[in-house]
């Protein structure tokens, strides 16, 4: 039985205000082509289909056309809702479209009812969908001991194991879940799910099934041989610049043995993180390879240069993010604490340093006098209030 594991499409999301719908459409074209090319028996989508609860119309249309193509290919699709999705909206019409082989699992009440994938003569495979489970909302329904992520997932898996135990011996089992599993490597683009207690759960929660198709973390990774994240098909933050964006092509043998390989996703544009003084970034020939990349630049000039973004984009036209981290001659590694940096400095010096940091140049004589006068007025006001209290 061959499965294609993907997740975290985030349809409708942009990248630093650059629309990604065309790139997302190219990925979904690639997904459908992969299904046909590799004779996939089922597609598993482990949550975060959309980027927000009420997605833009263009994202909904893209989702709809993809489901139609998968149905036309005769390939079952099992899909769960993630923490970005509205489970209620995503699940509208679920029972109706199930007739076309598209199985939306968005209701916690259906956790113990699998999608059965026939695989004669080896028997059916049972695919259980665990949508994102917000502890405070599902604890009572699942009979969990506590309102914690680990407790509600453990209760959900108890239902899965109970159903599986009643099925014929040798039934192969797959679980889709949208969760933060301990040991997973995070990135900046995942929405925090710590509401409802500690977010992470141990991989052992999923013991007893043959394969666990995870969603939520955006980097493809294998936590164990049987527990894997597919990651997002596109980069959604510069923290993902080293990621290789893929899907997992999983073969589940009759005895439950798992083999998996990665299938690369199309890359709309490479990411690059550049750091240094502006003039060095503009002149370094080693950076030629990044001229067509989406660029995040960190400028370390001690004084903020003039028109930095305009000058950067002349060489790197797709620069999307620019920050400043000035070098300090007294603390080149930036290890000094804030308190140590201020030690021994007067209020006047601290105020002048702040002006220099923000503007790139220190105050002139007139501005220094204005700062001195403002500080004197503050001190006088404090002294007057202290005198009032002391009476």
Q: Please give the pLDDT value at position 197.
A: 46
Residue 265 tokens, joined: 């996703």
95 phi/psi in degrees, rounded to 5: -65, -30
pLDDT over 90 percentage in the chain: 75
- Do the Cβ atoms of 67 and 29 come closer than 8 Å? no
Instruction: Read off the pLDDT of residues 309-355 as tens digits, 9 standing for 90 and up.
Output: 999 999 999 999 999 999 875 555 555 545 556 666 788 888 888 88
Q: Please give the pLDDT value at position 329.
A: 57
Instruction: Read off the pLDDT of residues 26-53 as tens digits, 9 standing for 90 and up.
Output: 999 999 999 999 999 999 999 999 999 9
Other C-beta atoms closer than 10 Å to the C-beta of 236 total: 22
Residue 364: alpha-carbon gap to chain centroid: 46
Beta bridge pairs of residue 6: 45
Average pLDDT over the chain, rounded to whole? 91
Which tops the pLDDT comparison, 390 or 359?
359
Nearest to 172 by CA among 237, 122, 242, 216: 122
DSSP string, 107-136: -GGGTTSPEEE--TTS--EEEEEE----HH
Cα–Cα distance for residue pair 149/195, rounded to 1 Å: 9
Residue 365 tokens, joined: 């004589």
| Cβ neighbours of residue 368 closer than 8 Å, sequence gap 6 or more | 348, 352
pTM above 0.85, yes or no: no
In this structure, the strands spanning 42-46 and 18-19 are unpaired
| Cβ neighbours of residue 196 closer than 8 Å, sequence gap 6 or more | 134, 135, 136, 147, 148, 149
């Amino acid at each position: 039985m061959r499965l294609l594991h993907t997740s975290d499409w985030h349809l409708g999301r942009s990248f630093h205000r650059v629309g990604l719908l065309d790139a997302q459409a190219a990925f979904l074209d690639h997904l459908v082509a992969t299904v046909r090319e590799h004779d996939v028996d089922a597609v598993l989508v482990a949550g975060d289909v959309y980027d927000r609860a009420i997605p833009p119309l263009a994202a909904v249309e893209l989702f709809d056309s993809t489901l139609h193509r998968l149905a036309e290919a005769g390939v079952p699709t099992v899909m769960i809702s993630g923490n970005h999705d509205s489970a209620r909206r995503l699940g509208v019409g679920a029972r109706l479209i199930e007739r076309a082989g598209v199985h939306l699992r968005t209701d916690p009440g259906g956790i113990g009812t699998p999608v059965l994938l026939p695989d004669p003569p080896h028997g059916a495979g049972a695919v259980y969908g665990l949508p994102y489970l917000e502890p405070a909302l599902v604890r009572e329904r699942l009979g969990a001991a506590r309102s914690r992520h680990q407790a509600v997932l453990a209760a959900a898996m108890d239902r899965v194991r109970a159903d599986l135990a009643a099925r014929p011996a040798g039934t192969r089992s797959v679980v889709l879940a949208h969760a933060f599993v301990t040991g997973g490597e995070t990135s900046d683009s995942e929405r925090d799910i710590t509401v409802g207690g500690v977010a992470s759960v141990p991989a052992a929660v999923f013991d007893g099934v043959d394969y666990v198709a995870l969603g939520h973390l955006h980097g493809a990774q294998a936590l164990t041989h049987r527990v894997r994240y597919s990651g997002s098909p596109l980069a959604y933050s510069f923290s993902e610049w080293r990621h290789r964006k893929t899907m997992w092509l999983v073969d589940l043998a009759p005895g439950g043995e798992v083999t998996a390989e990665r299938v690369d996703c199309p890359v709309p544009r490479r990411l690059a993180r550049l750091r240094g003084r502006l003039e060095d970034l503009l002149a370094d020939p080693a950076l030629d390879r990044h001229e067509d990349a989406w660029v995040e630049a960190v400028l370390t000039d001690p004084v903020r240069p003039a028109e930095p973004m305009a000058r950067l984009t002349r060489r790197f036209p797709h620069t999307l993010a620019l920050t400043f981290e000035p070098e300090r001659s007294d603390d080149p590694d930036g290890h000094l604490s804030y308190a140590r940096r201020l030690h021994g400095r007067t209020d006047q010096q601290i105020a002048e340093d702040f002006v220099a940091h923000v503007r790139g140049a220190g105050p002139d004589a007139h501005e220094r006098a204005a700062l001195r006068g403002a500080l004197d007025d503050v001190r006088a006001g404090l002294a007057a209030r202290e005198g009032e209290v002391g009476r």
